[in-house]
Amino acid sequence: MEKMMEYFDVWMKSQKDIMEKWSESQKGMMENWSEVTRKFQESLASMGGSQEGPAKEMITLYNSWLTTTINSSKSFAQEIEKMQETWKSTVEKQMEMSREIVKKMTELFKQAGQKS
């Protein structure tokens, strides 16, 4: 029965590790996307050539749109991160409860085997 609890503990640890890595990768992806987009915006703004008339207006509008998009994405990413943390916490609590159930059932089966 002890082996069963060890197996369950290993399984729980692997599930927790998977959730943490998944959450970290999502956060990293959003941070990298924001940084790449910001650098692209900076390079577009620093482009040489005609900065007069329609070209200047187009770059200004594009930069405004891109800034809004980046800020919205950051807000969205922060909310997703909160949801992931809530989900992760819920799953961890559920796994702990499952561990306790398995432990109690193991003890119950052990006692039943001793009575026979």
Q: Are 34 and 74 in contact (CB under 8 A)?
A: yes
Residues in Cβ contact with 24 at an 8 Å cutoff, skipping those fewer than 6 apart: none
Q: Where are the domains of the chain?
A: 2-115
74 band by pLDDT with thresholds 50, 70 and 90: confident
Which pLDDT belongs to residue 95?
83
Q: What is this structure's pTM?
A: 0.53
Higher pLDDT, 34 or 101: 101
116 band by pLDDT with thresholds 50, 70 and 90: low
Collapsing DSSP states into helix, strand and coil, what is residue 52?
A: coil
Question: Does the structure show a pLDDT above 70 at 1?
Answer: no
Which pLDDT belongs to residue 102?
83
78 backbone dihedrals φ, ψ, rounded to 5°: -65, -40
51 band by pLDDT with thresholds 50, 70 and 90: low
Which pLDDT belongs to residue 98?
85
Cα 3 to Cα 8, 53, 100: the distances in Å are: 8, 75, 15
Q: Are 12 and 99 in contact (CB under 8 A)?
A: yes
Write the DSSP symbol of residue 49: S
